[in-house]
Structure 1
Amino acid sequence: MNETGKDTKDLSALSFEEAMASLEQIVAKLESGNASLEQSIDLYTRGTQLKAHCEAKLKDAQAKIEKITLDDSGAAAGTQTFEVE
């Protein structure tokens, strides 16, 4: 984040962890009450973008999870695609 509170890194380039860290910084800055109105609006806007990015990353990760299937004896028999509800 630069001195105006704007994160200049493209969202698509952020990992989930980087986006969460940026979001935590934004929340802390907003909760501190030390940001100007304009800066607060910019921070809130960036925060909503980061939240959406994190949600998309989680949804993508969840879609990649596979469920391990077991045979009658309880041994691993293979995998099934995880069904996202």
Structure 2
Amino acid sequence: MADKTPDISDLTFEDALRALEDVVRRLESGEVPLDESIDLYERGEQLRQHCQARLDAAQARIEKIVAGPDGKTAGTAPFDAGN
């Protein structure tokens, strides 16, 4: 299986998400042998983790707009994931 599939770390978020959706479809079909189901589940978890890491990285780059007293944009501040 590994020789036919690209390395997860090389996938864009969108490609990883499509691959994860494919894994889910195949598992939900119920037509995959048990050993392959286990391999698919493991790959699906790796894809999920990759997607989450990409989302977390994107979220960390987001800047929130800081409005001045007049309601106009006064600047930006780093995104704080704790808020």
Question: Same fold, TM exceeding 0.5?
Answer: yes
Partner Cα distance (1:45, 1:70) in 2:
45
1:69 equivalent to 2:66? Answer yes
Closer, same or farther in 2 for the Cα pair 1:51/1:7, shift >3 Å?
Answer: farther
Percent of pairs with identical residues:
49
* 1:37/1:30 CA distance change after superposition, 3 Å: same
User: Which structure 2 segments of 5+ residues have no match?
Assistant: none
Q: Kindly indicate whether residue 48 of structure 2 is the aligned counterpart of residue 44 of structure 1.
A: no
The change in CA–CA distance for 1:17 and 1:7 in structure 2 (over 3 A counts) is farther
RMSD over equivalenced CA pairs, Å: 1.6
User: Which sections of structure 1, spanning at least 5 residues, go unmatched?
Assistant: none
- Between Structure 1 and Structure 2, how many residues are aligned? 82
Q: Following TM superposition, where does structure 1 have runs of at least 4 consecutive aligned residues deviating by more than 6 angstroms?
A: none
What letter is aligned with 1:14?
L
Q: CA deviation at 1:20?
A: 0.7
Q: TM-score, normalised by structure 1?
A: 0.89
Cα displacement (A) at 1:12:
1.2
